[in-house]
Amino acid sequence: MADNQNTILQVENLHTHFFTESGVIRALRGVDFSVERGKVLGIVGESGCGKSVTAQCIMNMLPGNGRAVEGKISYYPRESIGSQTEKVDITGLPPRGKAMRAIRGNEIAMIFQEPMTSLDPVYTVGSQLMEAITLHQNVTKQQGKEIAVDALAKVNLPEPARIFDAYPHQLSGGQRQRVMIAIALSCNPTLLIADEPTTALDVTTQAQILDLMRALQEETHMSIIFITHDLGVVAEMCDDVAVMYLGKVVEQTTVDAAFHSPQHPYTRALLRSIPRLTDENQTRLDVIKGRVPDPSVVPPGCAFHPRCPEVIPGLCDVHTPEVIKLGGGQEVRCLLYDDKLMAQSPTRTALAESR
C-alpha cells in the first residue's frame, strides 16, 4: 500500500482497451507507477506507447469506446494527508459523476498538447477561465474575475486585463499556451498533468514555458506528470522518469539514474538517439530500428524484442518480463535482469553476463 504522506497518485496494473469495429486495441497492458508529492514525474516514449491514454485514464475522460478493464488508479487528495486509509479510486468513479467532476480541473488539472484546439474560439479567454473558477470555488462573479486576471499575471502574460477580454485567435501560440497553464492552475491543483505542452512551440517560447512551469511548481509545491518524447525536456524538468513502451512502463527511476545508468535497452536506445554538442565527429544519429508495433497485435514475449539490439533468441521472444527491483528506487522490465531465466538460457550472451 502506498504511503500517502509521500504519494499523491498510484497507478497499479492498469489495462485499457479500445473497442473498435476492427477489433480490440489494447492500449495499456499493465501500467504501474507512482507520483510523489511535490515531485515532477516525466513519462517518456515514442508515439503510440500509451502516454496520452494514461493521462486520459487519470483524468477519467476516455473516449466512448475506451474502458479501463483492469487495475486501479488511487489518488490521495489534500485532506487525506496523515490518514493511511482515505483515498479515491478514480477508476471506480463515473466519469460524469459529481465526485469526479469535483476532482477534475480542481485537484487534478491538465494542460493539453495543442492550445488552439483546446481553447474554444467563440469564447473569450476570460470566460473560459471563469468557467473553471466558478465551477470549483464559491466566489462571486467579480471575485472570479479578479482570480482570473491574477492567474494570467502569474503566467507572465502582458496586460492580463486585456488578455482576459481577448479571443484565442488574437493571441500567439506561446500566449495561448500560457492561458492554458493559467486555466489549469486557477484552482491551485495538487497534481498537474502536462501532455507535451511545448510540442507546437518554437524553441525560444518552449524554453520560456518550461522555465515558467518549473518556477510555478517550486512556488506552489504541486506534483506534475510531464508527458513528452523529448529527453532534453526531461533532464530540465523532472525528478523521476517512467519510460513507456507499448502500453507498459519498462523502467522507472530517478532522472539522474536514467541518464547516467539506464538499465533497459529501450532507455539506452532512446538516449543514443539524442544529438550531443560534444560530439566532434559529424556522424549520423543512432536510430531504433523498426517502429512501435500495432497495439492490437502485440509480439510474444518482451514487446521490444523485435527492435532490441540486446535480444536473446529463445528467451526474449518467449517469456514476458516482470518488474525487477534493482535497488535505489530503480525498477525495470527486462529479462536480462531475471537471474533465474538467464541461468536456464543456453543462448546467454556475454553482454548479459557483464551487465
Looking at residue 2, its pLDDT comes to 55
The DSSP line for 288-308 is -SS-PPPTTSPPSSSTTTTT-
Nearby residues of 173 by Cβ (< 8 Å), 6 or more positions away: 115, 116, 200, 201, 205
Q: Is the pLDDT of residue 117 over 90?
A: no
Q: In the structure, what pLDDT confidence band is assigned to residue 39 with cuts at 50, 70 and 90?
A: very high
In angstroms, the CA 52 to CA 112 distance is: 10
Q: With left for phi above 0 and alpha for psi between -120 and 50, is residue 137 left, alpha or beta?
A: beta
- Of 214, 212, 231, nearest to 222 by C-alpha is 214
| Total-model pTM | 0.88
Looking at residue 339, its pLDDT comes to 82
Looking at residue 280, its pLDDT comes to 66
Q: Is the pLDDT of residue 351 over 50?
A: no
Give the least confident one: 5-14, 248-257, 297-306, 343-352: 343-352
Burial environment of residue 166 by CB neighbours within 10 A (0 to 12, 13 to 18, 19 or more) = middle
Looking at residue 211, its pLDDT comes to 87
Sequence spans of domains, the chain: 1-107+189-286, 116-187
Q: In the structure, what pLDDT confidence band is assigned to residue 126 with cuts at 50, 70 and 90?
A: very high
SS3 31: strand
pLDDT tens for 156-194 read 899 999 999 999 999 988 899 889 889 988 888 999 999
Looking at residue 349, its pLDDT comes to 47
| Amino acid making up residue 288 | I
* Residue 309: count of CB within 10 angstroms of its CB: 12
Give the least confident one: 229-233, 242-246, 300-304: 229-233
Is 1-107+189-286 a domain of CATH 3.40.190.10?
A: no
pLDDT tens for 57-74 read 999 999 989 999 999 999
